[in-house]
Amino acid sequence: MSDHHTYKKVEVVGSSPTSSDEAIKNAIAECGKSIKNMDWFEVIETRGHIHNGQIGHFQVTLKIGFRIENS
Amino acid sequence: MSDHHTYKKVEVVGSSPTSSDEAIKNAIAECGKSIKNMDWFEVIETRGHIHNGQIGHFQVTLKIGFRIENS
Amino acid sequence: MSDHHTYKKVEVVGSSPTSSDEAIKNAIAECGKSIKNMDWFEVIETRGHIHNGQIGHFQVTLKIGFRIENS
Amino acid sequence: MSDHHTYKKVEVVGSSPTSSDEAIKNAIAECGKSIKNMDWFEVIETRGHIHNGQIGHFQVTLKIGFRIENS
Amino acid sequence: MSDHHTYKKVEVVGSSPTSSDEAIKNAIAECGKSIKNMDWFEVIETRGHIHNGQIGHFQVTLKIGFRIENS
Amino acid sequence: MSDHHTYKKVEVVGSSPTSSDEAIKNAIAECGKSIKNMDWFEVIETRGHIHNGQIGHFQVTLKIGFRIENS
Amino acid sequence: MSDHHTYKKVEVVGSSPTSSDEAIKNAIAECGKSIKNMDWFEVIETRGHIHNGQIGHFQVTLKIGFRIENS
Amino acid sequence: MSDHHTYKKVEVVGSSPTSSDEAIKNAIAECGKSIKNMDWFEVIETRGHIHNGQIGHFQVTLKIGFRIENS
Amino acid sequence: MSDHHTYKKVEVVGSSPTSSDEAIKNAIAECGKSIKNMDWFEVIETRGHIHNGQIGHFQVTLKIGFRIENS
Amino acid sequence: MSDHHTYKKVEVVGSSPTSSDEAIKNAIAECGKSIKNMDWFEVIETRGHIHNGQIGHFQVTLKIGFRIENS
Amino acid sequence: MSDHHTYKKVEVVGSSPTSSDEAIKNAIAECGKSIKNMDWFEVIETRGHIHNGQIGHFQVTLKIGFRIENS
Amino acid sequence: MSDHHTYKKVEVVGSSPTSSDEAIKNAIAECGKSIKNMDWFEVIETRGHIHNGQIGHFQVTLKIGFRIENS
């Protein structure tokens, strides 16, 4: 058995009309459909669209780290 | 008709005793009183005041982008 | 009486299974047990653990500023 | 006569379907309609929209510095 | 129908012997062979090789954002 | 009465042949002619012109924060 | 034959109980199992776990650049 | 005797109604009451309060490095 | 039992005449004399002194994170 | 024969009334008069002068890397 | 006559026991002994040595820009 | 005798097939052939070439500071 692991990070943008935390959760839920072993996330940027003078969507860029299978 | 638009960004600080998302909304609502065509926002910094050992106000610095009229 | 104050900043990481704002509050509450005169906080980084495809904990790194006693 | 001047910077986003340099020129031309004494610009960020697999618009964020009238 | 989308970003380096804008276009054209729904790009870094005292290639690092299919 | 305020920041460049602190003061004095409720400043960059081998002017870029009237 | 190439970067985290250089090598070895034409790496961050008062693992975040096949 | 030393850094904010350099000196004087072996400082940020259109206090954030006793 | 922990970070500079990794280890060993529950470290900066044209000491600035007792 | 090379970087500012790419070329051409073995360049900043409401000169700061002779 | 100039930047550290502005002036004076056509400076970092609990020297890192002769 | 010194920094890239620390040493050794009074170094970036799936060379960009003769 190896004494170390290797991880990969992907950069995604989650969005939500409700809140910035919800945007993070949406991004993680979407990535969970295709990525196994998700381990941590890092918020890179928070921004959003304004529609008719109100927040249309929060848009949160995050990196998601996951262990490479069998590493 | 022009094939491009020009946008301007203003930097504002919204505050809220409730939450960081609310601070963003308050800033956008305040700016909407004088700015038309608001299009997006970017969070630059999140900080706040502590009062009697608890958060007094969340203070979120954001940039708000809007299209310059007739551009 | 002096015409100026001196402040110190400590860097802490608060966590919460619920929300990023709650992670900030938890860090401030914990620091309040040993630090007097807490004055402001600055969010440095937001990240978190993912457990079974969902957010286990939000982890928010912040700096807390407080006035040095008698300064 | 004063021995110094004061300048202000505004942050704008110019766009162009043609080139990144053209996006800068478009932003300066638009600002020149309302700002006198423009003196310099600084490019902050270059990005753009992709439409049907091709660049729709270059979008260049720049700061434009100008001398405050009578300063 | 969902009320939000999720996007992914990939980081690529385009090159061109002609111009920095051309290097961006080449990178987008190459990515378009395998990525659908490309939406925007962000320039991260511009550099290049010098050959015999002249620019051999402009090399532009950019991030390309695209919507995750069915998100 | 509202439980929060909104602030705006403007970016200016003050100059002075004498000192960097004086350049800050000059910028604030100039802005005070048209801006009410100025609350704080942040130094962004310090630079200057050199004339005949000596400092011609210190040039300090700063952001000035002020409360939006009635916010 | 094309007069330019396109490269892609992936962000990975290698780890090693021995040294930071070894963590880089482990990450490259792991990526080499699935990526051809690896060309360069860039160290983004060095950190690690502490176990019983000693370094458990060095963890080095790096970006690995590789030429896109046939580009 | 060890062939190396270990240093610690603390982050403080000094203030002064007079000048930015004086704010640095005030912070160092205050820290010198409780810290021995202070060795160097690094300026992190310069800002200040504006009171009645004039600088109320310069506020300089600095890190102070000192050798850990017996290290 | 609480559902969250709070961590504190301290910034230290380790040194070593031998290697940059050794400088990290020396800093952690020194901090372990007074800090319990050390959990992770982050490298902030690597530099060093040059003596007679050769490296006298590697100097590595790192942040060490540890759980606050009973948090 | 040595198994490694050493490179030096110089920081220069090229200018051009025509385009930002031309400003890069002008800087490289000028440096080529005195530097041999130029190998690569990195763009650090793009800015420019505005004259009569139009771009007077693009000014591009770049670093030029070259191999030290006989290294 | 050429329609453009090329500039070079050198990075220097000036010091002064008196003030941070004086450290800048000392650096410029020293460079003026060997560099002609000095045009501007940019402050990169301000730090200093502490001696017996007081500032021994302010140390200011700056870049000095000058026009390349005949460019 | 002057009460202050002036230092200059040069930016170099050292390389080594063996280790990142060795790349630093190689750069310092090369610079020592032409620079006297070398005083300190600062690591700016670590990267490297990959050859046949393994590290060909570590490449470390560093700044070397040295006192200007007679300053």
Q: ipTM score of the complex?
A: 0.96
Q: pLDDT under 70 in chain G at which residues?
A: 1
- What's the confidence (pLDDT) of residue I33? 96
- Tens of pLDDT, residues C21-36: 999 999 999 999 999 9
Contact C29, C35 (CB under 8 A): no
Query: Rounded to an integer, what distance in angstroms lies between the CA atom of residue I51 and that of residue I60?
Result: 17
- Domain-embedded: residue J59: yes
- Domain-embedded: residue B55: yes
- What's the confidence (pLDDT) of residue G69? 87
Q: How much is the CA Rg of chain H, to the nearest whole Å?
A: 15
Q: Any contact of I with D, at least 3 CB pairs below 8 A?
A: no
- Domain-embedded: residue G62: yes
- Tens of pLDDT, residues G2-20: 789 999 999 999 999 999 9
User: Within 10 Å of residue J3's Cβ, how many Cβ atoms?
Assistant: 10
Query: Rounded to an integer, what distance in angstroms lies between the CA atom of residue E38 and that of residue E62?
Result: 13
Q: pLDDT under 70 in chain K at which residues?
A: 1
- Tens of pLDDT, residues D10-21: 999 999 999 999
Q: Which of L3, L65, L71 sits opposite K30 (nearest CB)?
A: L71
Query: Rounded to an integer, what distance in angstroms lies between the CA atom of residue A10 and that of residue K1?
Result: 52
- pLDDT-based confidence at residue B43 (cuts at 50, 70, 90): very high
Chain B: touching chains (3 or more CB pairs < 8 Å) = A, C, D, F
Angle of CA points A15, A21, A26, to nearest 5°: 45
Give percent of chain D above pLDDT 70: 99
Q: Which of B21, B38, B43 sits opposite A50 (nearest CB)?
A: B38
Q: Which of B4, B10, B68 sits opposite D57 (nearest CB)?
A: B4
Contact K11 L11 (CB under 8 A): yes
- Domain-embedded: residue J2: no
The long-range contacts involving G42-46, CB below 8 angstroms and separated by at least 24 positions, are G42/G9, G42/L45, G42/L46, G42/L47, G43/L45, G43/L46, G43/L47, G44/G11, G45/I42, G45/I43, G46/G20, G46/I42, G46/I43
- What's the confidence (pLDDT) of residue K2? 77
Query: Rounded to an integer, what distance in angstroms lies between the CA atom of residue G56 and that of residue D41?
Result: 49
Task: Look at residue L1 and tell me whether its pLDDT is greater than 60.
Answer: no
Closest CA to F63 of F6, F7, F8, F10: F10
Give Cα A2 to chain centroid, integer Å: 28
Q: What is the CATH number of the domain that holds B57?
A: 3.30.1660.10
- What's the confidence (pLDDT) of residue K69? 87
- What's the confidence (pLDDT) of residue F1? 52
Distance between F30 CA and the closest CA of chain K, angstroms: 23
Closest CA to J28 of E50, E21, E47, E45: E50
Distance between A27 CA and the closest CA of chain G, angstroms: 18
Q: Is L48 exposed, middle or buried (0-12, 13-18, 19+ CB in 10 A)?
A: buried
H4 lies within 8 A of chain I by CB: yes
Q: Find the domain containing J15 and state its range.
A: 7-67
Contact D58, D22 (CB under 8 A): yes
Task: Look at residue A2 and tell me whether its pLDDT is greater than 90.
Answer: no
A49 lies within 8 A of chain G by CB: no
- Domain-embedded: residue H1: no
- Residue the block writes with tokens 């963003």: B24
- What's the confidence (pLDDT) of residue G1? 52
- What's the confidence (pLDDT) of residue D70? 83
D6 lies within 8 A of chain E by CB: no
Q: Any contact of I with A, at least 3 CB pairs below 8 A?
A: no
Contact G40 L50 (CB under 8 A): yes
- pLDDT-based confidence at residue F50 (cuts at 50, 70, 90): very high
Query: Rounded to an integer, what distance in angstroms lies between the CA atom of residue H41 and that of residue H22?
Result: 14
SS (H, E, C) G32-63: HCCCCCEEEEEEEEEEEEEECCEEEEEEEEEE
Distance between C55 CA and the closest CA of chain B, angstroms: 19
C10 lies within 8 A of chain B by CB: no
Contact E13 G6 (CB under 8 A): yes
User: What share of residues in chain C are helix, strand, coil (percent, to 5)?
Assistant: 20, 55, 25
Which amino acid does the sequence have at E3?
D
Closest CA to L6 of L31, L39, L29, L54: L39
> In Å, what is the CA distance from F16 to each residue of F22, F55, H19, K2?
6, 10, 15, 33
pTM over 0.90: yes
Query: Rounded to an integer, what distance in angstroms lies between the CA atom of residue J16 and that of residue H61?
Result: 40
- pLDDT-based confidence at residue L71 (cuts at 50, 70, 90): confident
Best of G19, G37, G43 to disrupt the L interface by mutation (most L CBs within 10 Å)?
G43
CA atoms in the 13 A half-sphere facing the CB of F25: 16
Give chain E's end-to-end CA distance (angstroms, integer). 10
The residue in chain A having the minimum alpha-carbon distance to the alpha carbon of residue E9 is A11
| Paired tokens of G69 | 């096949």
| Paired tokens of G32 | 């080499």
H30 lies within 8 A of chain C by CB: yes
Q: Tell me the average pLDDT across E23-40.
A: 97
- Domain-embedded: residue I2: no
- Domain-embedded: residue C2: no
Beta strands in chain K (DSSP E): 6-16, 38-51, 54-67
Chain C: touching chains (3 or more CB pairs < 8 Å) = A, B, H, I
- Domain-embedded: residue B41: yes
User: What is the count of structural domains for chain C?
Assistant: 1
- Tens of pLDDT, residues A11-68: 999 999 999 999 999 999 999 999 999 999 999 999 999 999 999 999 999 999 999 9
Q: Tell me the average pLDDT across C31-58.
A: 97
In chain H, the largest separation of any two C-alpha atoms, in whole Å, equals: 57
Q: Any contact of B with F, at least 3 CB pairs below 8 A?
A: yes
Q: Which of H11, H17, H30 sits opposite C9 (nearest CB)?
A: H11
